[in-house]
Amino acid sequence: MRLALDTNRYTDLCRGDLSVIEAVELADEVWLPFIVVGELRAGFAVGTQGTRNEAVLRRFLLKPGVAILYADVQTTHHYANVYRQLRKQGTPIPTNDMWIAALVLQHSLVLYARDAHFDALAQIVRI
């Protein structure tokens, strides 16, 4: 399985959630969309454990099969399609999550997220 972690699932992983640990260990690839990395680092910047959290993130990113997923020009097309679909459905979701959805769709990944608003995008495979 090729897995994309949302911010909340990465946080769950760091907190020792056994279901998340199992999913990550079973995955062939684990991707952190760049948006997730940005959200995490924003949290580190305003939190009290920023240095420690940054070190944990860096160690995680060094693990085999784990990488950051960046947007490219193709991602913008997927983003536009997601935007159009959500607008037609009348089911908006946060902008950062639209970018995550676009990357997941572009790269045919399984999304691991707790956010129910991703349910508005039935074409996304989730666990």
Number of domains in the chain: 1
Q: Which residues of 17-29 are buried (b: 16+ CB within 10 A; e: fewer)?
A: eeebeebbeebeb
- Do the beta carbons of residue 71 and residue 64 sit within 8 Å? no
For the domain that residue 95 is a member of, what is the CATH number? 3.40.50.1010
pLDDT tier for residue 113 given thresholds of 50, 70 and 90:
very high
Encode pLDDT of 66-104 as tens digits: 999 999 999 999 999 999 999 999 999 999 999 999 999
Range of the domain at 87: 2-126
Encode pLDDT of 21-42 as tens digits: 999 999 999 999 999 999 999 9
